[in-house]
Chains A and B, each alone.
Chain A
Amino acid sequence: MSSTLKGITLKGSAELVAEFFSFGINSILYQRGIYPPETFTRVTQYDMSLYLTVDPELKTYLSNVVTQLKGWLFDCTVQKLVLVITCLETSEVLERWQFDIECDKTVQGSSGPREKSIKAIQEEIRSVIRQITATVTFLPLLETACSFDLLIYTDKDQVVPEKWEESGPKMIADSEEVRLRSFTTTIHKVSSMVAYKRTDCV
C-alpha cells in the first residue's frame, strides 16, 4: 500500500474500505465503551492514534467479518454495513451505526486503475473517524452493559455464508439520526450515519 501509486484498483479499493471498517468498528467499540478500555491497544493509523482490541475472541470475530466483507466488496455486492449496539439485558437497540456502501459496478469490466491518490482517500477516512469520535458530544451515555452486532446488507442473490445468518434491520423506533461524513475511493463510496434513541425532552 505504497503512496507512490497513482491510481487505485478494485482490489485495492476493497482492501482500503475493509481496512477502514476494521479500524472504524474498533474505534466505535472503544469510544462507546462496549468493551473495557483496557482491552484496547493504541496503534497509529491514518496519521492518528486509534485503538484496536486485544481481546482475542473479538479480534477473530472482527477479522472474520472483515475478510468476508472484503470479498463482497470485491464483488461489489455489499450495500450496507450496520453496527448495532443493543442493551445486554433488554436487547433494546440503543445505537445504530450505518455505513452505506455504493459500489461502482462498471469497474469490474474495465481493469484500469482510477485516478485518486491513496493519500487523499486516507485523508477522507481520517475525517470520518474523527467525526465518529466527536459524536460523544451528543450521543447519550450508554449506562448499561451493551453488546454489539454487525449486519451487512448485500445484494439479494448472495448465498449466506457459513456462520452468517439472516437478520432483521434492527431499527430504532424513535430515533434521532445524524449523518456523518463520507469518503470515496471512486470505486466504493462509504457514507456513514448514526442513529440513536431520541431523548424524551424538548
Chain B
Amino acid sequence: MAEGEAEWELCKENIQPLRRGRAISALHQALSQQDGAGYAAIQQQKQAFESELRLYSGDDPLDVWDRYIKWTQQTYPQGGKESNLSVLLERAVKRFVDETQYHNDSRYVNLWIKFAENSTEPLDMYNYMHGQGIGVQQAALYIAWSEELEKHGDSKKADSVYQEGFKCGAEPADKLHQYHKAFQARVSRQVMKDMLGGGEQEPDSPEPAQPQRSSLVDLKSRGKKTAIAPIVRVGAAVSHRSRGLNLQLPTTTHNGHNSRFLVFDENQVSAAAAAEPSEARPERWMAPPSSRAKENEMMPEKWTNVKMPQKSRAGYSVVAPPSKPNFQPYVEECDQPPVVTPCKINPMVNTVLSVRKPSKEETPLERLQEPQQVEGDKKEQSMYCKELLFSGVAEFCFEELRAERYYKRAAQELEAKERKLKGVKEDLKRQIEEKQKLLQDRSPQPGAGQQGRLEAGESSQPVDCLPGCAVSRRQGSDPGFKIHDECEASSSARVNQPVENEDSRLADKGCALVLPFTIFDESTTGEKTQEVTSKAVGCRPSVCRPLTAILKPLAEAPATRLESDGMEGIESLTDDAIVSSYKNKTLCRSPDNTCDFARAAHLASTPFGGSGSGLGTSASSADGLPDLSTFSVEPMVSAPTPAVQQADYEVVLRGERLSPIEEASLEDGHYSVSSAFSGSSLGSMSGTKAMHSSSGMEACPPQLFPSIPEETAQDVEKDNPCSMNSRRRMLSKVDLDSFPNFYRDVRSLPEVMESDALFIGEEFIMIFSQIISGENGVVHFGQTKSRESVIVKVDFETVPWDFYVATQLRSRLGPKSQKYFGYRSSCVFYMDGCITLSWGRCLSTLQDFLEISPFLQVAVSLTKQLLEMMEQMHTCHLVHGNIRPDAVLLRCRESGDGADSVLQMLDFSSCVDLDLQPEVMSAGDLPSAQAFIKQGLLSASSSPYQVDLIGIAETVYMLMKKRTMNVVREDSEWKPTDDFAGTLHGHVWQEFFRKILNPGSQSSVFILSDLQHLVERILLSGPENNPKITEYF
C-alpha cells in the first residue's frame, strides 16, 4: 500500500459512518477481507460469538450480544445482508424484552435505538419502547426519539418528548439538557428564519435547497410530455440537515387529515376520546401498527398499472401523501405466518436471487409482540433445546453445541491440569522440605540407613517408611467401592440372612452388580425363590433379587449406568447448559440424554431388551419363565464353602430348568447364568469347576489331575495360560463391565510419562517414577488428586488381567483381602491397552529395600507377611507364578492397627486363575515354572501352587542373605547350598527351607500356614525383638 493510499478511501462510499467511529484496524481488516482471503477468520470470530451466545453462563448475557453487535458493525462496514445486523438486533432486543433488569441498561437501550434506526418506522419503535418501559430512564431514548421527530418536522412533539424525558428523570440529565438546548436553538433559529424570510430561501444560503428525486421513476420523456423529471421529496432527507442547517419543514406535512371523508363511527367516539391524550404518552401497544414494508421488501406489483402522479390544477399532487395514522390500528392476533429461521448460506452463492416466498409482511415490531400474543395458547413445547439452536443469527446443530461444550471443557481441563500440576509441584516441594527437616531430626535413630537410601532414590515420597512417620501422614480411608447409593438401601434389604455377618460392603457390591440384570418372574412367588435358594445353596451367602417388576430396573438404570450401560463411550448430552428444562417424566429422565433416550427406546420397543450391554444381559430371559427366579447371584465370598454343595448347586442351576430361549440367546452355550460376578466360576465348564471346588481349599494333589474328564481337557486349546491371547479369551467370558471401577474409554491409550499428569477414568493421576517396564507394560508410582498413592500399571494389551486378579482377590477373600491386596483398584480399558490403578502407599520394591535393610528381624516379619499373603492367594485358587523380590512392593500402613501389611504385589502378570483357567493343572503348564522343572526342583506334574513356594523360598533367602539362592539335592531333599548354622535361629530357617522346597504332595495352603507358625516362633523368641520395628512392620 502506498503511503496514505488507503483501502478505506477507495471504499468510503461503502462504509457506514458510526456514531462511535470505527477502529481503523478493524476497517482495514474488513475491507481487505472482502476478497475472501480472510473470510475464514471473520467466520471463525462470528462462530465464536454465536457459540458464546449459547453457552454463556455468566450473569450478564446482554454483554455477549452487545459485543457481538458492536463487532458486527465494525466488521461489516457496508452493512448489508451478510452482516445480518438487523436480524441480530431484532433477536437481541427480543431476547431481553422480558428481562426488566435490562430495561434501563444503557447498552440495551442503545440496542433498541440502533434497532429503531434500522427499521422503517423508528417512531413506532420508540413509542413501543416507551410503552414497555424500556429506556424510560435513559436520556438516549428521548434524544433519539426527538431527533427522529425533528426529522419529520414535528418539533412540537419533539419538544414534548424532551419534556417527558425530564419528567421521567432520564439519566444523564445534563446530556438531555444539552441536547434539548441545542434542539431549542435549532427550532428558534428556524422560526426566526421563517419569520424574516417569509419562507424564502436565505440569501446567504450556500447552496439552494436541492430537492431529491425519488427513485425508480421515469426520467425520459414519453410522447408529448416534456421531460420534466418528477421531483418528489422523499424520506428523512427532506428535513434533516446536518448540524444546525436550517430545518425546512417538509412540503408534505404529515397529518392525519388527509383523508377526504370523515366517517363517523359512534363506537369509536369514546375510544377516540380516550386515545387523544395518549398523543404525548402513548398507551402500550396492544397490537402492532399497520404493516409497512421493510426496506427492500416491497411487495411486487404490476407497474403497468401505476399511474404517474397527475398534476392537478391546484398544483399539488392528487395522490395523497402516505398518511400517518394517529390511531393505533387493530390487527388480528392470530394468523401469524411462520418465521423463517435464518440459516447459514454459503456466501459464495449468496448473490443468487430467489423468488421471495409469499409471506405476510410484518414489521419487526409485530414480531416483537408476537410472543405476547402467543403466550395465551402455548400448545407445543419443543423437547429439545430449541432456543439454543436458534439463538443467534446462525442456526446451530446439536453436534456443534456439543463440540463447543467439549472444547470448552477440554480447555478447562487443560487449565485445571496446569493448575493442579503447579499445586502438586509446590506440594511436593513442601513435603520434601518437611521430610528433610524430619530427617535431620531423626538422623541419630536406627532408621537413618534407610532414609539415606530412599532419599537418594527418585521416589517423591521418600521418607515415609520412617518409624512413626506413617501415622502422621495417614490419609483418610476411602470408601472403597464406588457404588451408587440409590440402590443401596433397597438392595441391602434383599440380602439374604447369611450375608449379614459378612461385610455389608460386599452385599452392596453384589447388589449393585445384580441390578442391570433383571429376572422377570411372572408368578412372583417369593417363597419359591427362598426355597430354591436355601435348597441349593444351603448356608451359602447369596444375594437374591426376586420379584423384580420389569420396569423398575429400567427406571433405575441411570443409577447403575456407570457399571452396566456400555454407553460410557457416548458423551451424554445431559449438561446443564443444554437440558435443564427439558425433562420428560414419562419416558425417561431427559430425552436429551443419549443414554436415557436409548434406554427409553428399549422400554418402548420390547418387553425387555436388556440394558444394552452385550454379555451382561445374557441372564435375562424372555418373558418370565418362573423357574428363572432361582438364579441367585453369589457375591463370591464363597471360597471356604463346602464345594460339594456348590457342585450340587451347579447341577440345580444347570438342570432342565434353562429356558430354550435363553439358551438360544446366549453367545456362549456354556453360560447358564451370567451374574455380574460369576463369570469366573459359574461360567466355566461345570465338570472342571466341580472338580476344583471339591478339592476346595486343599491344593490339588498332582495325582488327582489325570482323573479329569478327557473332553474338558481336550476342548481347551493347549497353550500358554499366561499368554495374552489365552487371557483375552478367558476374560471374554467374564463380564468386566460389571466390575466396579471398570471403565471403558473409546480413546486410545494415553501416553504415560514420568512426572506427567493424566486423567484416568475418573481420576486425575500424577505419574511419578517408573518401577518396572516390560514389553507388555510399564508400572509407575502415582498420586491421585486427593493425594492418595496409587500404582499405575499400563498394559499395552487390551487384557486387564491385573485388574481382574485384584478384583477376584477382593471378591473371593472378602474384607480380608484388604490386608495384602489393597482396598481399591480401578481399571480403564482403552482401545489399545488398559491402565490399572491400585491404591496403596507403596514406597519401593522389596528388591530395593533389600539393599538397605540391616535387620534380620525385619526380614522375619516380612517373611511372615509374604507367607500369609501367598496363603491368601492360594486360597482363592490364584497362583502368582512369579514371586521375586522385585515383584513385591513395600508400602506404608494406612492404619496403625496392623490391619494391612507393608507388602503389596506389584503386578499379577504371571498370575493364573485356576478357577477361570481349569486347563492349568500342573506346574508344567506354567511358563514361569519351566526353569524350576529343568533344574529338577519341580516336577512337571506337581501342583501349580508349588511354583509360588519356590518363589517364596527364593525371596526369603534374598531377604536373609542378600544374594540369590542356590540349591542342592541331599537325601532326596532340596536345600540351600549354605546352611544357616551361623545365623540366629539357624535350625528354624533350615527347617523352613526344607519344608518349602520339598512340599511333596501337601497342599500349598497347608505348608504356608505351617511355615507361618514356624516363623512366628522366631519372631516371638528372638532376643533382637525390637518392639519398635515389629510395630512398624
A is bound by B: yes
Q: Using a CB–CB distance below 8 Å, which chain A residues touch chain B?
A: 33, 36-38, 40-42, 51, 128, 130-131, 134, 136-141, 143-144, 176-182, 191-192, 196-199, 201-202
Q: Is the CB of A141 within 8 A of B70?
A: no
Q: Per a CB cutoff under 8 Å, which of B27, B74, B244 touches A36?
A: B244
Query: Which chain B residues in 53-79 approach chain A with CB under 8 Å?
Result: 67, 70-71, 74-75, 77
Q: Is the CB of A137 within 8 A of B70?
A: no
- A-side contacts of B8, CB under 8 Å: 134, 137-138
Can you name 22 A-B residue pairings with CB atoms under 8 Å? A36-B244, A37-B245, A41-B204, A128-B4, A131-B4, A131-B9, A134-B12, A137-B17, A137-B77, A139-B21, A140-B21, A144-B178, A176-B25, A179-B4, A181-B3, A192-B4, A199-B74, A201-B23, A201-B71, A202-B70, A202-B74, A202-B75
Q: A131-B9, A134-B8, A179-B4 are in contact. Are A141 and B19 (CB under 8 A)?
A: yes
Q: Is the CB of B67 within 8 A of A201?
A: yes
Is B473 in the interface zone, CB < 8 Å from A? no
Q: Is the CB of A136 within 8 A of B207?
A: no
Is B315 in the interface zone, CB < 8 Å from A? no
Q: Is the CB of A178 within 8 A of B243?
A: no
Q: Is the CB of A137 within 8 A of B206?
A: no
Identity of the chain B residue whose Cβ is nearest the Cβ of A36 in the assembled complex: B244
Q: A42-B207, A141-B21 are in contact. Are A202 and B26 (CB under 8 A)?
A: yes
Q: Is the CB of A182 within 8 A of B3?
A: yes
Q: Is the CB of A176 within 8 A of B24?
A: yes
Identity of the chain A residue whose Cβ is nearest the Cβ of B243 in the assembled complex: A33
Q: A36-B244, A182-B4, A199-B23 are in contact. Are A42 and B206 (CB under 8 A)?
A: yes
Q: A33-B242, A42-B207 are in contact. Are A198 and B9 (CB under 8 A)?
A: no
* Nearest CB of chain A from residue B190's CB, rounded to whole Å: 12
0 or 1 for each of B189-227: is its CB under 8 Å from A? (1 = yes): 000000000000000111100000000000000000000
Is B469 in the interface zone, CB < 8 Å from A? no
Complex-state Cα separation, A201 to B114, whole angstroms: 16
Is B15 in the interface zone, CB < 8 Å from A? yes
Dominant secondary structure at the A interface:
mixed
Complex-state Cα separation, A181 to B9, whole angstroms: 11
Q: Is the CB of A138 within 8 A of B4?
A: no
Q: Is the CB of B244 within 8 A of A38?
A: yes
Complex-state Cα separation, A140 to B8, whole angstroms: 15
- B-side contacts of A199, CB under 8 Å: 18, 20-23, 74
Query: Which chain B residues in 1-54 approach chain A with CB under 8 Å?
Result: 3-6, 8-9, 12, 15, 17-27
Q: Per a CB cutoff under 8 Å, which of B3, B12, B21, B75 touches A179?
A: B3
Q: Is the CB of B6 within 8 A of A178?
A: yes
Q: Is the CB of B206 within 8 A of A181?
A: no
- A-side contacts of B21, CB under 8 Å: 138-141, 176, 196-197, 199
Q: A191-B3, A201-B74 are in contact. Are A134 and B20 (CB under 8 A)?
A: no
Complex-state Cα separation, A38 to B205, whole angstroms: 7
Query: Which chain B residues in 377-400 approach chain A with CB under 8 Å?
Result: none
Q: A37-B243, A131-B9 are in contact. Are A143 and B19 (CB under 8 A)?
A: yes
Q: A36-B244, A137-B8, A137-B17 are in contact. Are A202 and B23 (CB under 8 A)?
A: yes
Complex-state Cα separation, A182 to B25, whole angstroms: 20
Q: Per a CB cutoff under 8 Å, which of B6, B12, B26, B244 touches A37?
A: B244
Identity of the chain B residue whose Cβ is nearest the Cβ of A177 in the assembled complex: B24
Complex-state Cα separation, A138 to B30, whole angstroms: 13
Q: Is the CB of B3 within 8 A of A37?
A: no
- B-side contacts of A144, CB under 8 Å: 178
Q: A180-B4, A191-B3, A202-B74 are in contact. Are A138 and B245 (CB under 8 A)?
A: no
User: 5 shortest A-B CB distances, which residue pairs?
Assistant: A140-B21, A181-B4, A201-B70, A138-B22, A137-B15
Q: Is the CB of A198 within 8 A of B23?
A: yes
Identity of the chain A residue whose Cβ is nearest the Cβ of B15 in the assembled complex: A137
Complex-state Cα separation, A145 to B36, whole angstroms: 41
* Nearest CB of chain B from residue A71's CB, rounded to whole Å: 28
* Nearest CB of chain B from residue A135's CB, rounded to whole Å: 9
- B-side contacts of A191, CB under 8 Å: 3-4
Q: Is the CB of B12 within 8 A of A137?
A: yes
Identity of the chain B residue whose Cβ is nearest the Cβ of A196 in the assembled complex: B21
- A-side contacts of B5, CB under 8 Å: 181
Given contacts A140-B19, A181-B4, A201-B67, 8 further A-B contacts (CB under 8 A): A38-B204, A51-B206, A131-B4, A137-B12, A137-B27, A144-B178, A199-B22, A201-B71
Identity of the chain A residue whose Cβ is nearest the Cβ of B22 in the assembled complex: A138
Identity of the chain B residue whose Cβ is nearest the Cβ of A54 in the assembled complex: B204
Complex-state Cα separation, A178 to B3, whole angstroms: 11
* Nearest CB of chain A from residue B426's CB, rounded to whole Å: 38
- B-side contacts of A51, CB under 8 Å: 206
* Nearest CB of chain B from residue A52's CB, rounded to whole Å: 11
Q: Per a CB cutoff under 8 Å, which of B4, B22, B242, B243 touches A137?
A: B22
Complex-state Cα separation, A51 to B23, whole angstroms: 28
Q: Is the CB of A178 within 8 A of B245?
A: no
0 or 1 for each of B353-390: is its CB under 8 Å from A? (1 = yes): 00000000000000000000000000000000000000
Q: A179-B3, A182-B3, A202-B74 are in contact. Are A141 and B17 (CB under 8 A)?
A: yes
Most buried by B among A42, A131, A137, A180: A137
Q: Per a CB cutoff under 8 Å, which of B17, B71, B243 touches A136?
A: B17
* Nearest CB of chain A from residue B46's CB, rounded to whole Å: 13
Complex-state Cα separation, A172 to B244, whole angstroms: 28
Complex-state Cα separation, A179 to B1, whole angstroms: 12
Query: Which chain B residues in 230-268 approach chain A with CB under 8 Å?
Result: 242-246
Complex-state Cα separation, A37 to B27, whole angstroms: 28
* Nearest CB of chain B from residue A151's CB, rounded to whole Å: 22
Q: Is the CB of A134 within 8 A of B9?
A: yes
Complex-state Cα separation, A55 to B27, whole angstroms: 36
Complex-state Cα separation, A128 to B6, whole angstroms: 12
Q: Per a CB cutoff under 8 Å, which of A37, A128, A176, A179 touches B242?
A: A37
Identity of the chain A residue whose Cβ is nearest the Cβ of B13 in the assembled complex: A137
Identity of the chain B residue whose Cβ is nearest the Cβ of A179 in the assembled complex: B4
- A-side contacts of B9, CB under 8 Å: 130-131, 134
Complex-state Cα separation, A140 to B73, whole angstroms: 13
Complex-state Cα separation, A143 to B22, whole angstroms: 15
Identity of the chain A residue whose Cβ is nearest the Cβ of B2 in the assembled complex: A181
- A-side contacts of B15, CB under 8 Å: 137-138
Most buried by A among B8, B22, B205: B22
Complex-state Cα separation, A179 to B204, whole angstroms: 36
Q: A138-B8, A138-B24, A139-B21 are in contact. Are A38 and B71 (CB under 8 A)?
A: no
0 or 1 for each of B711-732: is its CB under 8 Å from A? (1 = yes): 0000000000000000000000
Identity of the chain A residue whose Cβ is nearest the Cβ of B27 in the assembled complex: A138
Complex-state Cα separation, A83 to B590, whole angstroms: 66
Complex-state Cα separation, A181 to B74, whole angstroms: 24
* Nearest CB of chain A from residue B742's CB, rounded to whole Å: 51
Identity of the chain A residue whose Cβ is nearest the Cβ of B69 in the assembled complex: A201
Q: Is the CB of A140 within 8 A of B20?
A: yes
* Nearest CB of chain A from residue B76's CB, rounded to whole Å: 12
Q: Is the CB of B70 within 8 A of A178?
A: no
- B-side contacts of A201, CB under 8 Å: 20, 23, 67, 70-71, 74
- A-side contacts of B75, CB under 8 Å: 202
Q: Per a CB cutoff under 8 Å, which of B18, B20, B24, B245 touches A38?
A: B245
- B-side contacts of A41, CB under 8 Å: 204, 206
- B-side contacts of A198, CB under 8 Å: 23
Identity of the chain B residue whose Cβ is nearest the Cβ of A41 in the assembled complex: B206
Identity of the chain B residue whose Cβ is nearest the Cβ of A193 in the assembled complex: B4
Identity of the chain A residue whose Cβ is nearest the Cβ of B5 in the assembled complex: A181
* Nearest CB of chain A from residue B78's CB, rounded to whole Å: 11
Most buried by B among A41, A140, A182: A140
- A-side contacts of B3, CB under 8 Å: 179, 181-182, 191
Complex-state Cα separation, A140 to B897, whole angstroms: 79
- A-side contacts of B178, CB under 8 Å: 144
Complex-state Cα separation, A86 to B21, whole angstroms: 16
Identity of the chain A residue whose Cβ is nearest the Cβ of B143 in the assembled complex: A143
- A-side contacts of B242, CB under 8 Å: 33, 37
Complex-state Cα separation, A176 to B242, whole angstroms: 25
Complex-state Cα separation, A139 to B3, whole angstroms: 20
